[in-house]
Structure 1
């Protein structure tokens, strides 16, 4: 299990619920929560992470640069997107393009459907390792 989990949320209501959950589950020693924009908070933390989960399914590609700057070599990023069945390659290309721009090598571990939000529109997750 991880030593510490960091959570960053820009929505104050969602952040408040996260704080309540941490207290209810007595995880104050294991979870650090921040209210704010991930693009501002992550550089302030001055840390590198083993694993980054990016559950924002729309527009998440706009945050890949921040995630790539904060991941340790050998770390894993879980990137989510909404696509129809024909758009899975487009989502994969977003990841590859961001890695290339950040001058990071990556290896796609898996691409999976993890929910359906409308007829023929899926929530997908691309798990990739940064080499």
Structure 2
């Protein structure tokens, strides 16, 4: 994410300057901005200013809706360029992403690296809601991984990404609803990495039934900070000990995404 004010300070009139978004995301050669309607007439000029100051950017998209639907994708307006796909690089891995048709969050890069460092070579790992593979592919460098996603486009990109990152022999892709995961496999897993969508806390019970005793679940949920202590007690009562937790991004006023590492007891 890059500072925006300095890049476009001379593009928008001074009385509108306070409406300029503070930052924009860069994914590969695509910049993603969120321009308020009040400065809509400046959209093209803002996009041109970004490209002029960032020569590695070829496409500028204006995000016009929040994530919606089972695919967890947003709607975008093309301000410069006319595509939604790009190659995104992270910690030595390359991911082909499609912002309009498959979920991807660049702001979880630290989390992906943190979890990969815990994966062991002899493990069986399952990744529900796998998307294009940013959690599954690093894990597959070490372990045997099963990735599950209901989005056909995401599964196709994951297959491509597994090949270009040379992990296709260690990664199986299942195009299916992750909520049916218990019926898909006869074996239990050593580890689950669960970047669950908003409002999917019920999935923790589903996935915990698929994990060996002593196994690890990396679970993501969306809560206010004051809810976390009671949440930890609830997990403990259900047979899941919280070994580590951290906030990893705000999603709404007072609401954050939380990462929790849980051991099944």
Normalising by structure 2, we get a TM-score of 0.43
Residue 250 (structure 2) aligned to one of 112, 116, 123: 116
Match of 1:102 in 2: none
Q: Is the 8 A contact 2:246 2:260 kept in 1?
A: yes
SS in structure 2 at match of 1:18: helix
Q: Is the 8 A contact 2:221 2:259 kept in 1?
A: yes
Higher fraction of helix: 1
Paired with 1:78 and 1:54, the residues of 2 have a C-alpha distance of 6
Post-superposition offset of 1:28? 1.2
1:50 equivalenced with 2:190 (yes/no) = yes
SS in structure 1 at match of 2:227: helix
SS in structure 1 at match of 2:216: strand
Paired with 2:195 and 2:171, the residues of 1 have a C-alpha distance of 18
Normalising by structure 1, we get a TM-score of 0.82
Match of 1:88 in 2: 228
Post-superposition offset of 1:82? 1.1
* Moved segments of 4+, more than 6 Å: none
Runs (5+) with no aligned partner, structure 2:
1-120, 122-141
Match of 1:12 in 2: 152
CA RMSD of aligned residues (A): 1.9
Paired with 2:234 and 2:150, the residues of 1 have a C-alpha distance of 23
Q: For residues 13-54 of structure 1, give each alpha carbon's deviation from its aligned partner in whole angstroms, at most 9, with x where no partner exists.
A: 222221111111121111111110123244222111111111
- Larger radius of gyration between Structure 1 and Structure 2: 2
Paired with 2:244 and 2:228, the residues of 1 have a C-alpha distance of 11
Paired with 2:254 and 2:240, the residues of 1 have a C-alpha distance of 29
**Alpha carbons of 1:4 and 1:111: their partners in 2 closer, same or farther (altered >3 Å)?**
same
Higher fraction of strand: 1
Q: For residues 93-116 of structure 1, give each alpha carbon's deviation from its aligned partner in whole angstroms, at most 9, with x where no partner exists.
A: 55346x2xxxxx321101210112
Q: Is the 8 A contact 2:181 2:207 kept in 1?
A: no
